C-alpha cells in the first residue's frame, strides 16, 4: 500500500436526543475523521470514538488529535505498509491511546479493502450478510418515560434492549421494564457505577432474567469483577476494562466475565479486535459490538467487525436515524426487522458524503508522507 497523505478533520454534530449514562450526558459529538489517501487515488476512512471529556476512558478528542498528529501519523509514515495488521505492531511502542490508534489503523484497513476491491467485512474474515441490532437506552427522567421509549423501540424492531443504570435508577426500573415486557432480551449497563460493597444489592438483578450486566465495577478492574461474578447468576459483560487481547485473556482466566463487549476504538483497532474475537472463540465467550454514538463511518466499521462468527449477541449498532438528523454517509445505515444488511461494495461499503462532512467540519489538517 502506498499512503500518500492523511487528512484529519474535526467535525461536530448534534445528537437528535441527549444520551445519559451513569457518568454524564452527551448532547452533541465532536469527532475526528481520518482519511488515508493512496497514490492510486483511493481513500480509506475511519473515525475516532473519543469524546470531549475523559469520563468513559482517559482519552479525549484533543488528546487524540495530538497523538495522531505528533506520534501516530509520523510513525505510520516511517515506512510503507504491506498489510494493515502491521499498523498496530508499529504503534506498539506508544502506550495506551487506543481510540487514536484505532482511528488511524481503521482508515488503513478501509483503504486496504478498497485496494483489494473487497468489502471490509470480507477482509476481516466476516461470515454474515446481516447483523442483529439492539439499542442502548439512556437514563430518563421518569419510569413512565423509559417504558414508553422502550415500547417504541420494540415496535421499530430492535432485538435487544439495554438499559443504562446507576444507583437510584436500577432495581426498580428494571423490575418495571421486566414486568411490562416479560419476554424481551434485556440487559443493563452500569458504566462502572458500583463497588464490591454493593454485592448484596446487585444480587437482586438475578430476578430479572437479564442476558447480562455490563461493567458494574471500576473501569480498570478485573479482580473484583471475578469476585462479583462468583456471586451472581447473571453473566457479567466487560466493556471499559478490556483494552487488549491480554486484558481479555486475563479476565477470562480469572472468571471476571462470561461475555465481552468489543469496541474497536477501545482495543486499539481491527487487528486487535480480530485477536480478541479468536480468543473468545477458543474459550466459548460470546461477544457483541458496543457503540460510542458513532457517526456513519465508525458505524460502518462496527457493522464490518460484527460479521465475524462469534458476535452472537445483538450489538449497539443502531441505524443512523437513531442518532442523527443527517448522517455523513450515503446511503445511511438502515435497519430492517431488527437487522442491518452488510453492504457488498468495497471497503466500509458506505460513501462518505463530502458535502455533508464539509458542513460539519470545524477545522482540518493534511499530513503528507
Ligand atoms: O452507541 C450507542 O448507541 C451506545 C452508546 C453507549 O452505550 C455508550 C456511549 C458512550 C460511552 C459508553 C457507552 C457504553 O456502551 O458504555
Ligand atoms: Mg458499556
Residue-wise pLDDT tens digits, 79-109: 999 999 999 999 999 999 999 999 999 999 9
Superfamily of domain 3-117+352-368: Enolase-like, N-terminal domain (3.30.390.10)
Atom of ligand 1 nearest to the CA of 263: 15
Catalytic position from the list 101, 164, 166, 275 = 164
Q: What's the pLDDT at 115?
A: 97
Contact 335/133 with Cβ under 8 angstroms? yes
**Best of 133, 316, 322, 327 for a ligand 1 pocket test (most atoms within 8 Å of beta carbon):** 316
Main-chain phi, psi angles of 317, to 5 degrees: -85, 80
Identify the residue whose C-alpha is closest to ligand 1 atom 16.
Answer: 191
Dist CA 207 CA 188 (whole Å): 13
Could you tell me the pTM of the whole model? 0.98
Instruction: Answer yes or no: are the C-beta atoms of 88 and 268 closer than 8 Å.
Output: yes
Give this complex's ipTM: 0.98
Looking at residue 211, what DSSP letter applies? S
- Would you place residue 137 in the very low, low, confident or very high pLDDT band (cuts 50, 70, 90)? very high
CA of 180 to the centre of ligand 2 (A): 24
Are residues 273 and 247 in contact, defined by beta-carbon separation less than 8 angstroms? Answer: no
Ligand 1 atom closest to the Cα of residue 189 is 16
- Quickly state the pLDDT bin for 116 (edges 50, 70, 90): very high
- Which residues, by Cβ under 5 Å, contact ligand 2, an ion? 189, 214, 239
Distance of CA 55 to the CA centre of its chain: 15
Residue 44 DSSP code? E
Region for residue 337 given its phi and psi (left: phi exceeds 0; alpha: psi -120 to 50; beta: otherwise): left
247: Cβ–Cβ under 8 A, 6 or more apart, which residues?
222, 241
Domains 3-117+352-368 and 122-341 share a fold: no
Check: CB of residue 320 under 8 Å from CB of residue 352.
Answer: no
Residue with cell 466475565: 257
- Report which secondary-structure segment, H or E, holds 165: none
CA distance 218 to 231: 17
Domain boundaries defined on the chain: 3-117+352-368, 122-341
Give the separation between CA 132 and CA 305, rounded to whole angstroms. Answer: 13
The total of other beta-carbon atoms located within 10 Å of residue 226's CB is 17
Measuring from atom 11 of ligand 1, which residue has the nearest CA?
292
Q: What is the pLDDT of residue 67?
A: 98
Q: Does the annotation mark 164 as catalytic?
A: yes
How do residues 103-113 score in pLDDT, each as one tens digit?
Answer: 999 999 999 99
User: Once rounded to an integer, what is the mean pLDDT over residues 332-361?
Assistant: 98
Per DSSP (E only), the strands in the chain are: 3-21, 24-38, 43-47, 130-132, 135-137, 161-164, 186-189, 213-214, 236-238, 259-262, 287-289, 329-330, 339-341, 351-352, 361-368
Mean model confidence pLDDT for the chain: 98
Fold assignment, 122-341 = TIM Barrel (3.20.20)
Residue from 20, 158, 292 to probe ligand 1 pocket by mutation (most atoms less than 8 Å from CB): 292
Q: What is the DSSP letter of 203?
A: G
Confirm or reject: Cβ of 161 under 6 Å from ligand 1. Answer: no
CB 167 within 8 A of CB 194: yes
186-214 pLDDT tens trace? 999 999 999 999 999 999 999 999 999 99
Q: Looking at residue 272, what DSSP letter applies?
A: H
Going by alpha carbons, the residue nearest to atom 9 of ligand 1 is 292
- Per-residue pLDDT at 294: 98
- State the distance from the centre of ligand 1 to the C-alpha of 322, rounded, in angstroms: 13
Indicate whether residue 59 lines ligand 1 (CB < 6 A). no
> What pLDDT is attached to residue 361?
98
10's grid cell: 474535526
Could you tell me the pLDDT band of residue 52, with boundaries at 50, 70 and 90?
very high
Q: Which three cell numbers stand for residue 350?
A: 458506505
Ligand nearest to the CA of 161: 1
Amino acid at each position: 500500500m502506498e499512503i500518500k497523505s492523511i487528512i484529519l478533520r474535526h467535525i461536530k454534530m448534534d445528537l437528535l436526543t441527549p444520551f445519559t449514562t451513569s457518568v454524564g450526558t452527551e448532547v452533541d459529538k465532536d469527532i475526528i475523521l481520518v482519511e488515508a489517501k493512496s497514490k492510486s487515488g483511493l481513500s480509506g476512512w475511519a473515525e475516532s470514538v473519543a469524546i470531549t471529556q475523559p469520563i468513559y476512558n482517559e482519552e479525549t478528542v484533543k488528546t487524540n488529535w495530538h497523538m495522531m498528529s505528533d506520534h501516530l501519523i509520523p510513525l505510520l509514515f516511517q515506512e510503507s505498509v504491506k498489510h494493515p495488521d502491521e499498523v498496530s505492531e508499529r504503534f506498539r511502542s506508544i502506550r495506551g491511546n487506543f481510540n487514536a490508534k484505532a482511528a488511524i489503523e481503521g482508515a488503513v484497513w478501509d483503504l486496504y479493502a478498497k485496494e483489494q476491491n473487497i468489502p471490509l467485512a470480507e477482509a476481516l474474515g466476516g461470515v454474515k450478510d446481516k447483523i442483529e441490532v439492539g439499542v442502548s437506552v439512556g437514563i430518563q427522567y421518569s419510569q413512565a418515560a423509559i417504558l414508553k421509549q422502550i415500547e417504541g423501540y420494540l415496535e421499530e424492531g430492535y432485538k435487544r434492549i439495554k438499559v443504562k443504570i446507576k444507583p437510584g435508577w436500577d432495581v426498580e426500573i428494571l423490575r418495571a421494564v421486566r414486568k411490562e415486557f416479560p419476554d424481551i432480551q434485556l440487559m443493563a449497563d452500569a458504566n462502572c457505577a458500583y463497588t464490591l460493597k454493593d454485592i448484596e444489592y446487585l444480587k437482586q438483578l438475578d430476578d430479572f432474567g437479564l442476558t447480562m450486566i455490563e461493567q458494574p465495577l471500576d473501569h480498570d478492574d478485573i479482580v473484583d469483577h471475578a469476585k462479583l461474578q462468583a456471586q451472581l447468576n447473571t453473566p457479567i459483560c466487560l466493556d471499559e476494562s478490556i483494552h487488549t487481547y491480554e486484558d481479555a485473556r486475563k479476565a477470562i482466566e480469572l472468571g471476571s466475565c462470561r461475555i465481552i463487549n468489543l469496541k474497536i476504538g477501545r482495543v486499539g483497532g481491527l487487528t486487535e479486535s480480530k485477536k480478541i474475537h479468536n480468543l473468545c472463540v477458543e474459550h466459548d465467550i460470546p461477544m457483541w459490538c458496543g457503540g460510542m454514538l458513532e457517526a456513519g463511518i465508525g458505524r460502518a466499521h462496527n457493522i464490518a467487525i460484527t460479521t465475524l462468527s462469534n458476535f452472537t449477541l445483538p450489538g449497539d449498532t443502531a441505524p443512523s436515524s437513531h442518532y442523527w438528523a443527517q448522517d455523513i454517509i450515503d446511503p445511511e445505515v438502515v435497519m430492517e426487522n431488527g437487522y442491518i444488511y452488510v453492504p457488498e461494495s468495497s471497503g466500509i461499503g458506505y460513501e462518505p458524503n463530502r458535502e455533508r462532512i464539509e458542513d460539519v467540519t470545524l477545522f482540518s489538517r493534511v499530513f503528507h508522507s
